[in-house]
Amino acid sequence: MKKIIYTILFAFPSILFAQVGFGTSTLNDDSAIEIGPDNSTKGLLLTRIHLVDCATPSPLSAHEEGMIVYNLATNGSGALSVTPGFYYNNGSFWVRLDTNPTKIGDIKYSYALNDHSGWYLLNGRALSSLPMNAQNVASSLGMSINLPDATNKILKAKGAEALYSTGGSNTTYLTQNQLPNVNFTGSTSSDGDHSHSFGDRYHSTDEDLNVVTSLLGIFGAVVLNILDTNVGDKDEVVSGDTSSTAGNHTHTATLNSGGSGNTLPEVSSYKLNAFVYLGK
């Protein structure tokens, strides 16, 4: 009985400090567990679980830094969503192991014409046309009814504007200070000859009145006043004539544009398609 007890006591410490090897008898000194080349046709199968989202430790009871699992679930929304793949825990969060750390809501430009690998073309289509998971993620990002339409638009970081709002115009108007600072000069043609017809109208007087006025001389004005009631009783006489045709002349005008030659902004463009990442 004593021999058995001694054997257990001596064996137990060796287990506490031993390395574990699978398929190999030569362990690396720095490894706690090593899978050797003898198992070249086998793989390492890690624990497979269903995560709730990146912020929730479940199905673990708490976050454990260094824990590595393979997630089977597609859960959560927005930046916290999880999709099938390897995840490690940093002590407060599940982080996806990915050589391309694409995040939900990322935007990219591409030559691709269609949706691919979780990337969805921003062409204004209805959210209801997307897979259910993509619909949920899009809604969690604040999209409603339709995807944004990035066609013929330049994306910019928002200031006080609402997210997904559009602005600007496809039409550019020049302001005065963008006009070149030049003077415009010109002359009218010299064709201006013309004439005007006019008539000189007066009333004839009686012959005897003419004799009287000539005899009275300096008293003619007085006599005319006396005989005023008789003046103009004769027929109206119209004397017609035409002015000369001289009238050629020119006008010179000078106008300033008022501009200062400021540069008109014009952004050169290269046409690509815009995509948003909504998860696989």
Structural domain includes residue 131: yes
Structural domain includes residue 111: yes
Domain count along the chain? 3
Structural domain includes residue 147: yes
- Report whether pLDDT(125) > 90: yes
Question: What mean pLDDT is reported for the chain?
Answer: 77
| 264 secondary structure, DSSP code | P
Structural domain includes residue 78: yes
Highest mean pLDDT among 99-103, 187-191, 202-206, 226-230 belongs to 99-103
pLDDT tens-digit map of 226-278: 555 444 455 566 666 677 777 777 778 777 777 777 776 666 777 899 999 99
| Same domain as 148, residue 114 | yes
CA 84, 89, 94, 99 torsion: positive or negative? negative
Structural domain includes residue 120: yes
Phi first, then psi, for residue 38 (nearest 5°) are: -65, -20
> What pLDDT is recorded for position 205?
53
Structural domain includes residue 212: no
| Same domain as 88, residue 59 | yes
pLDDT tens-digit map of 58-109: 999 999 999 999 999 988 877 788 889 999 999 999 998 877 778 889 999 9
Structural domain includes residue 67: yes
Residue 234 CB neighbours (<10 A)? 13
Are residues 7 and 14 in contact, defined by beta-carbon separation less than 8 angstroms? no
| Boundaries of domain holding 135 | 106-156+271-277
| Same domain as 65, residue 39 | no
Structural domain includes residue 145: yes
Q: How far, in Å, CA of 50 to CA of 68, rounded?
A: 13
- Where b means 16+ CB within 10 Å and e means fewer, 175-209 reads eeeebeeeeeeeeeeeeeeeeeeeeeeeeebeeeb
Are residues 277 and 108 in contact, defined by beta-carbon separation less than 8 angstroms? yes
Structure tokens, 268:
């050169």
3-state secondary structure of 2: helix
